Amino acid sequence: MITVYGISNCDTVKKARAWLATQGLAHEFHDFKKLGIPAARLRIWEQAVGWHKLLNRQGTTWRKLDPGEQASATDAAGALTVMQAHASVIKRPVVEWPGGQITVGFEPTAWGALA
């Protein structure tokens, strides 16, 4: 089963879920805002794709963080701590594919090869 992690009102997550539906691909959705972020999953994602790819430094949530908190995200441990505390700084969607692959962001071309 495909699992999509994100925030339900995120436009990119909406596009990703619509694409999956159009392709006829069933998926589960895990909403960070309602269900939180499983710490174990966050570590697995970091190991698979790297913390730099997971941490969204372009978004509003990042810009609103205290400068000290931003400064703490200079390595994997610090970045994971910030992401665990502020789910909205995680780039979305994070998708776990049936074959074990993990992707971050919505890339229809790449997803077509994984589906």
CA angle 55, 38, 10 (to 5 degrees): 50
Question: Alpha carbon of 77 to those of 20, 22, 63, 93: distances in Å?
Answer: 32, 38, 20, 21
| Other residues' Cβ atoms within 10 Å of the Cβ of residue 8 | 12
Q: Which of 4, 7, 10, 79 is catalytic?
A: 10
Task: Decide if pLDDT at 23 tops 90.
Answer: yes
Average pLDDT over residues 84-105: 95
pTM of the model: 0.93
10 is catalytic: yes
For residue 112, the model assigns a pLDDT of 87
Q: Is CATH 2.40.160.20 what the domain over 2-114 is classified as, yes or no? A: no
